[in-house]
Amino acid sequence: MSKNRIVVTCAKGISPYLEEEILGLGFPILSEGISSIETEGSFGDTLKLNLFLRTAHRVLFLLKRFKASHPGELYQGVYGLPWENYFSEESTLCITSSVDTETIRDSRFANVKCKDAIVDRFNQRIGKRPDSGPERDGVVVHLYWKGDRCLVYFDTSGEPLSKRGYRKIPLEAPMQETLAAAVVLATEWKGEGNFVNPMCGSGTLAIEAAGIAVGKAPGLLRSNFGFMHLKGYKEEAWKELHKKARTQSKKACSGKIVATDMRPEAVQAAKQNAMTAGVEQLIEFAVCDYSETPVPDLGGVIVLNPPYGERLGDRRQLESLYQGIGDFFKKKCQGYRGYIFTGNMDLLKKVGLRTKRRLPFYNGDIECRLLEYELYEGSRKRQRT
């Protein structure tokens, strides 16, 4: 498999952060969509992208593009690829797809056509075929079919990269790991100054912040990726890359990371998750109301992801909670950049502070915002004089 297009997907709205990351790893940007970035590289490059990208969901390596205006043409196009050279008949195969074409209504039919073409090719070339199923723990082939344009990829990630492997205890309303990483990147916090996270829930924001601060590659904990099931995979190259990633991660950062929640079980889960992620020594945990969170001197970033919907909390209580956050910011967090991540724009009005930036995000299908507040030392007026 020589150099080809690579599509890296992400949650809706976080492609600007993904783009920065891809550029930072030395890859070009060929195009950008709301939930994907197109770059290029070799199959070997997908190992690096899978290991280091914090905001990506899947790394798709393009195999072939062709025109198909009906399922028969899809079958022929897929059958034409030398699948027996790409992976063994002992592997298990999963087909995923994104289909938007008038010729079929149910994308599962396209998946079946695709799978049939691959297993028929195996049967005819070597007399045996791989098993197939919905699990993404073996070879994953992804089909993109829009109008009459078909693109066939290997999903080199397999399970989405948001599953880092540290969140064994998710609790209610957890933030996806990749979204939490994008939120931390949006705050531009990189380990200098403090990172304070009241209402930490299962600890995702603090854990991602710790990983960013010490440069710990997000894929280090995972033992299975889609690329591992392909013949082009060189275990030695992966071990080498893994070792390099482990050695380049720092032991400590200069700023403090503080994570608190009023529920003891949340703090317990956050600690456990941080331990699994190998960053618990970087985070100071406490059980307390957000307003009692110890805010270290010298400023930094303070991020809250308060409850915001039907899932947690009742409306009137939430209004006073958001109002209280405004007071807490004003009184206790001077010298910090304050952030609130929420999916409820009405509640934000209760904060009562002037916003500096409003960054759009999505949490699943819920449209969210990350609001930034500049919390000046003393009053703004005094600071200007």
Ligand X SMILES: C[S@@+](CC[C@H](N)C(=O)[O-])C[C@H]1O[C@@H](n2cnc3c(N)ncnc32)[C@H](O)[C@@H]1O
Select the residue whose beta carbon is closest to ligand X and give its number.
Answer: 201
Q: How many residues bind ligand X (CB under 6 A)?
A: 20
Q: E strands along 147-238, which residues?
A: 149-155, 194-197
We find the least distance from the C-beta atom of residue 312 to ligand X, in angstroms, to be 6
Position 279 contacts ligand X (CB under 6 A): no
Q: From the list 175, 245, 348, 351, which residue makes contact with ligand X (rule: CB under 6 A)?
A: 175
363 belongs to the binding site for ligand X (CB under 6 A): no
Based on the shown chain and the rule CB under 6 A, indicate whether residue 330 belongs to the binding site for ligand X: no
Stretch 131-170: interaction string toward ligand X, x if CB under 6 A: ----------------------------------------
Q: Say if residues 227 and 46 touch (Cβ distance below 8 Å).
A: yes
Instruction: List the interface residues with ligand X, window 182-221 (CB under 6 A).
Output: 198-199, 201-202, 204-205
Q: Which is nearer to ligand X, 60 or 210 (CB)?
A: 210
Q: Is 263 in the site for ligand X (CB under 6 A)?
A: yes
The reply to whether 343 sits near ligand X by the rule CB under 6 A is no
Shortest distance (Å) from residue 216 CB to ligand X = 18
Query: Which position among 261, 333, 337, 363 is part of the footprint of ligand X (CB under 6 A)?
Result: 261
Per-residue x/- track, 280-309, ligand X (CB under 6 A):
---------xx--------------xxx--
Rounded to whole angstroms, how far apart are CA atoms 218 and 313? Answer: 32
Decide if 104 contacts 110 (C-beta within 8 A). yes
User: Is-contact 195 298, C-beta < 8 A?
Assistant: no
The tokens of 378 are what? 């003393």
Nearest-angstrom CA–CA distance, 221 and 155: 19
CB 249 within 8 A of CB 173: no
CB 3 within 8 Å of CB 42: yes
- Going by C-alpha positions, the residue among 350, 349, 342, 346 that lies closest to residue 367 is 342
Cα separation, 251 vs 129, in Å, equals: 47
Min dist CB 167 to ligand X, Å, is 8
Q: Give the whole-angstrom CA distance, residue 336 versus residue 78.
A: 55
- Give the separation between CA 249 and CA 169, rounded to whole angstroms: 25
Q: Which residues bind ligand X (CB under 6 A)?
A: 171, 173-175, 198-199, 201-202, 204-205, 261-263, 266, 289-290, 305-307, 312
